[in-house]
Amino acid sequence: MAPPPPEPVLDDEERQALVKGIGEFNAGLFFECHDTLEEMWGGIRGPSRDFFQGLIQVAVAYYHLGNGNAAGAESMMRRALKRLERYPSRYCGFDVDGQRGRLRHWLERFASGAGAATAADQPRWHFDGIT
């Protein structure tokens, strides 16, 4: 098994973009979060690139959920899960295991036909040392 990717080193601009994206995600502004993180992701190189792309895909998945596009949400969740699978349980101060678990839970809901989102399903992101 390959060693886990090293922790990312974010410059001030990347850190500010991440904080903004986390705030947007936590406010349910998933499209805006996607835009913010995608702009940041464009400059990211190295092993953390897939991690941030996975987060972008999570935001897009929840955007689709909020618009009643279960097929789009399911597709994005599968793609995000695949991107995040190589990262350790905590990465960049983020509970990657928890995120993977939430994605798997949603995929099980889709498989059972119970994919509709409710206000109780509003996700939150927290990054130790960043938020």
* Integer Rg of the chain from CA: 14
Distance of alpha carbon 80 from alpha carbon 67, whole angstroms:
19
Domains detected in the chain: 12-112 (1.10.3450.10)
Q: What are the phi and psi torsion angles at 91 (to 5°)?
A: -150, 130
State the pTM of this model: 0.94
Distance of alpha carbon 86 from alpha carbon 54, whole angstroms:
11
17 and 37 Cβ atoms separated by less than 8 Å: yes
Q: Count CB neighbours of 52 within 10 A.
A: 23
In the 8-state DSSP scheme, what is residue 92?
Answer: T
**pLDDT tens sequence across 12-71:** 999 999 999 999 999 999 999 999 999 999 999 999 999 999 999 999 999 998 898 989
**pLDDT tens sequence across 70-127:** 899 999 999 999 999 999 999 999 999 999 999 999 999 999 987 666 656 778 999 9
What's the chain's length in residues? 131
